[in-house]
Amino acid sequence: MPEIVQFTSPGRVEFVETDAAPLVPGSVRIATWYSGISAGTELTAYRGTNPYLTSTWDSERRLFVPGEPSFGYPVQGWGYSEVGQVVEVDDDDADIRAGDVVHGIWGHRSDAVVPASAVSGRVLPLGVDPVLGIFARVGSIALNAVLAADVRLGEQVAIFGQGVIGLLATRLATLSGGRVLAADTQPGRLEIARAFGAAEVVDALRPGGAGELIRELTGGGADSAIELSGADRALHEAVRSVVVEGLVAASGFYQGGASNLRLGEEFHHNRVRIVASQISGVPVALGGRWDQPRLVRTVMDQIYTGAVDAAALISDVVDAGAVSGVFERLDAGDPEILQAVLRFDAAPERDR
């Protein structure tokens, strides 16, 4: 029987059996090899804080409204960083063939049926470690944030939150010509940020706040900032860190209120611009040239060539059946865990 990761209730995640999906016209069946865990998004399901679990998302009006929650426990199928091998193809005209190793989005499940178009152009090249395919989505989120912050050659950008996406953003902003100042609460992550090209690293817990030090290190403020931790205090420090009329790309998945974001202070007096960066869309000014497939292609090209050492971010590769322990560690804030990867039974023997 196929198996799938299930959030059974807040604080409880299991690996359970599920029915196999039928192959339908234009689809392919994939045996999952690896699936990357998104610590930010998926912890909202583990903790029960995701707004979809407490209110209704009205897709036509694009509003959260009171009513029956859009999702309810048990929640299955979360996960958006998968790699697997195509084992069955319905459409002989598709450019995907049985045996291809592809990356895409189909959730933490051992067996998936997806449209062939969903993995078209996502075949991993021969000679590339297949586990690197799990970085396509998180890398796209990072690149989208860098684009939203309008990072340019010679400009200074403060990046708050050096988790997986923040570290990828640090590297991509550096490759774009920016001088990066990286802020985080964990010394180990700041060390990686330095290795990924950050010119300066800042302890986010320092007295006076990271924003104050960044203004000193940049001689008056960063040109822009990217916030990726999802903490309202970090967003406030990002606002404090930029120049007058500076730009802040708010890219974290913020939960609950924002009591630490004081809009009457630097935001108001320095006329700071805050823009939301979310992977469902690219910055408006780039909409005619950029889209999600281009984000994916660009990030993966940088990974394939070694310009972005994504493998250095993998801290844990565990059997999918051990998923509960991974979330316990993430929930507890274990500093030793960075990118956790679930390994499924179909994965190559060399990785077992």
On whether the CB atoms of residues 86 and 98 are closer than 8 A, the answer is yes
Q: How far is CA 288 from CA 125, 129, 251, 298, in A?
A: 28, 33, 21, 16
Q: How far is CA 317 from CA 38, 46, 314, in A?
A: 14, 20, 7
CB atoms < 10 A from the CB of 141, how many? Answer: 23
Q: Which residues contact 227 (CB under 8 A, 6 or more apart)?
A: 160, 161, 234, 235, 238, 248, 249, 250, 251, 252
Q: DSSP class of residue 38?
A: -
Output the pLDDT for position 95: 87
Task: State the average pLDDT over residues 328-334.
Answer: 95
Is the pLDDT reported for residue 188 higher than 80? Answer: yes
Output the pLDDT for position 349: 78
CA triplet 291, 278, 190: central angle to 5 degrees? Answer: 110
Mutual orientation of helices 292-304 and 164-175 as an angle, nearest 10°? Answer: 80
Tokens of 333: 């804030």
Output the pLDDT for position 67: 86
The CATH homologous superfamily for domain 150-276 is NAD(P)-binding Rossmann-like Domain (3.40.50.720)
Tokens of 31: 């045996």
Strand partners, 104: 82
Output the pLDDT for position 351: 60
- 119: helix, coil or strand? coil
> How far is Cα 158 from Cα 78, in angstroms, rounded to an integer?
31
Which of 318, 266, 285 is closest to 108 using CA atoms?
318
Domain boundaries, the chain: 3-136+310-351, 150-276
Strands 12-17 and 3-9: antiparallel
Output the pLDDT for position 352: 54
> How far is Cα 261 from Cα 259, in angstroms, rounded to an integer?
6
pLDDT per residue over 31-63, tens digit each?
999 999 999 899 999 999 999 998 999 999 999
Output the pLDDT for position 77: 86
Q: DSSP class of residue 266?
A: I
CB atoms < 10 A from the CB of 234, how many? Answer: 27
- 45: helix, coil or strand? helix
Is the pLDDT reported for residue 197 higher than 60? Answer: yes
> How far is Cα 152 from Cα 130, in angstroms, rounded to an integer?
32
Is the pLDDT reported for residue 187 higher than 80? Answer: yes
Task: State the average pLDDT over residues 103-119.
Answer: 96
Task: State the average pLDDT over residues 10-14.
Answer: 97
Is the pLDDT reported for residue 241 higher than 60? Answer: yes
- 265: helix, coil or strand? helix
When pLDDT is cut at 50, 70 and 90, the band that residue 93 belongs to is: low
**What is the CATH architecture of 3-136+310-351?**
Alpha-Beta Complex (3.90)
Give the predicted TM-score (pTM) of the model: 0.96
In the chain, % of residues over pLDDT 70: 99
Give the CA count within 13 Å in the CB-facing half-sphere of 116.
Answer: 19
3-class secondary structure for 194-214?
Answer: HHCCCCEEEECCCCCCHHHHH
Task: State the average pLDDT over residues 276-297.
Answer: 94
Tokens of 168: 């990828």
Q: How far is CA 131 from CA 47, 53, 349, in A?
A: 27, 31, 13
Is the pLDDT reported for residue 242 higher than 80? Answer: yes
Which residue type, as a one-letter code, is found at position 263? L
